């Protein structure tokens, strides 16, 4: 599997790995959302992991893309987790009330 712009997609056994990079905002969130949904539907993974280590900024549209990824994973019966947000991105997730939903304990991706 490949990706779209700031999104790289790979399927490792039964885990769909989605690596995002750069700014995730209104300029690219729609194609990212569509690519993620397509990857989940095609891959039918047991787990979906979103790596945010290289994301420098996320706005409300980008947060919407992450929530859409969670929904797509849930709809196909896969587990979902977000990993390795930097302090900036973690702050946006925290302000938006998504830290708990994504199971994050702090910046850098510590999981509960």
Lowest mean pLDDT among 22-26, 56-60, 67-71, 101-105: 101-105
For the stretch 15-53, pLDDT in tens is 999 999 999 999 999 999 999 999 999 999 999 999 999
Q: C-alpha angle 32/5/95, rounded to 5°?
A: 50
- Domains (range + CATH), the chain: 3-95 (3.30.750.24)
- Inter-helix orientation angle 29-43/60-75, to 10°: 10
Helices (H), 18-107: 29-43, 60-75, 87-95
Given pLDDT bands bounded at 50, 70 and 90, which one contains residue 81? very high
- What backbone phi and psi angles, to 5 degrees, belong to 42? -70, -40
Find out whether 16 and 9 touch, Cβ atoms under 8 Å: yes
The model's pTM is 0.89
For the stretch 20-29, pLDDT in tens is 999 999 999 9
- Partners of residue 79 on adjacent β-strands: 47
């Amino acid at each position: 599997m490949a990706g779209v712009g700031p999104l790289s997609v790979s399927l490792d056994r039964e885990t769909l790995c989605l690596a995002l990079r750069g700014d995730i905002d209104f300029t690219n969130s729609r194609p990212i959302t569509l690519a993620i949904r397509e990857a989940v539907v095609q891959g039918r993974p047991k787990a979906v992991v979103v790596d945010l280590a290289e994301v420098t900024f996320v706005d409300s549209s980008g947060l919407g893309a992450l929530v859409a990824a969670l929904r797509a994973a849930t709809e196909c019966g896969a587990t979902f987790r977000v990993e390795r947000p930097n302090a900036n991105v973690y702050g946006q997730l925290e302000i938006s009330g998504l830290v708990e939903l994504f199971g994050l304990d702090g910046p850098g991706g510590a999981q509960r």
